[in-house]
Amino acid sequence: MFIAYIIIAAVLALVLLVSAGFKLRPDPRVHEIVGVPRRFFPHLAALEIAGAAGLLIGLAWAPLGIAAAGGVVLYMIGAVIAHARVHDFKGIANPVLPLALAIAALITRLLSV
């Protein structure tokens, strides 16, 4: 299970870092998708970067990997709700893949302790 966690954590960390990069760019299309004010995007990006770091550090320290995966699950649930709130049902697919990866990371890290 640990090898599965390594793969899932690496892929999810990459997805989170790419997403954080989009949030830090001043692209109005990205900022208007879910109706979240621009002032929140640096904070959201910081949460994604912290989640990615936690997942990778969690390779060496299981409690941090578990906490990071759990935090990313909660973050992505919030992202799904944000898309649903503004009826962006096409864009709702964007956080669903990372949510599935975060759930898989949480399960595999819990099983590999």
pLDDT-based confidence at residue 1 (cuts at 50, 70, 90)? confident
Cβ(80)–Cβ(96) under 8 Å?
A: yes
Residue 33 has pLDDT above 80, yes or no: no
What percentage of the chain has pLDDT greater than the value 90? 69
Please give the pLDDT value at position 113.
Answer: 86
Please give the pLDDT value at position 74.
Answer: 98
Residue 70 has pLDDT above 80, yes or no: yes
pLDDT-based confidence at residue 34 (cuts at 50, 70, 90)? low
Please give the pLDDT value at position 88.
Answer: 79
